[in-house]
Amino acid sequence: MSSCKFIAAGFGLLAFSASSNLALACTAQPVYLHSARFEAEGDMTVNAGKSCLFNINGIPGALEDVQIVQQPKVGRAGVQNMKPYYIAKPGYAGRDEFSYAFIGKDQYGGPMRIVIKRIVTVQP
């Protein structure tokens, strides 16, 4: 499974960047967070048959669970070791979408639920 990672700084920016060896297989636009209870949407591009494994770093608070809250219609999504992933269907080119949630407690002990919806463009 290919690997992509998130970089986060407080509740300001949740950015997605592909590691250097995956720059062509998986990319996504940054997602800006405004609170510990937030929903955001961002575009993502992935090559057919390739996968993206998302990693979360730097969100203040304690992550307790990661869930897929909307399954993709064409590809596959799941969670492995508290990291959501998306796998594009081999041979498919077109649009897909899915959502995942980071659930836990914020830095003050209050509830945290951050939902990220990805609008996926699968390219050949």
Per-residue pLDDT of the chain (124 residues; tens, 9 = 90+): 443 433 333 444 444 433 334 446 888 877 777 788 889 899 999 999 999 887 676 677 899 999 999 999 999 999 999 999 999 999 999 999 999 999 999 989 999 999 999 999 999 9
Token reading at 25: 């297989």
**SS3 (DSSP) at 83:** strand
Domains of the chain: 4-123 (2.60.40)
Q: Which of 96, 109, 32, 101 shows the shortest CA–CA distance to 65? A: 101
- pTM value is 0.80
> What is the pLDDT at residue 66?
94
In angstroms, the CA 6 to CA 4 distance is 7
- CA distances 106 to 34, 40, 54, 65, 102, Å, are 12, 17, 20, 13, 11
